[in-house]
């Protein structure tokens, strides 16, 4: 007996397969968090290369709604970025 994978059947496979024109497609907003999961980079105040990606040109912390970082990791990011700012690395 094969089990049906309900996860994949939930979403419409074709983006044009919508009820109305104004309905927003799910696939656009289903972005995974880049800092969680296996083989994720370590968030640390010494890892300046990674922290630079989550800071704007004027050294402000980017909101998670743009970078799609999960809530737990965003809290860690902010604390590490502030530590790096004390040492003048960012």
Query: According to CB under 8 A, which residues from 25 to 84 bind other proteins?
Result: 42, 44-49, 59, 83
Nearer to other proteins, 51 or 69 (CB): 51
Nearer to other proteins, 11 or 52 (CB): 52
With a CB cutoff of 8 Å and minimum separation 6, the contacts of 45 are 51, 80, 81, 83, 84, 87, 89
Biggest CA-to-CA distance, the chain = 61
- What's the min distance (Å) between Cβ of 84 and other proteins? 9
Residues that bind other proteins (CB under 8 A): 42, 44-49, 59, 83, 85-90
């Amino acid at each position: 007996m094969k089990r049906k994978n309900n996860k994949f059947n939930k979403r419409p496979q074709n983006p044009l397969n919508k009820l109305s024109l104004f309905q927003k497609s799910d696939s656009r907003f289903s972005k995974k968090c880049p800092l969680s999961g296996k083989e994720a980079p370590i968030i640390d105040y010494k890892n300046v290369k990674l922290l630079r990606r989550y800071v704007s040109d004027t050294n402000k912390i980017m909101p998670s709604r743009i970078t799609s970082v999960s809530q737990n990791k965003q809290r860690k990011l902010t604390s590490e970025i502030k530590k790096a700012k004390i040492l003048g690395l960012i």
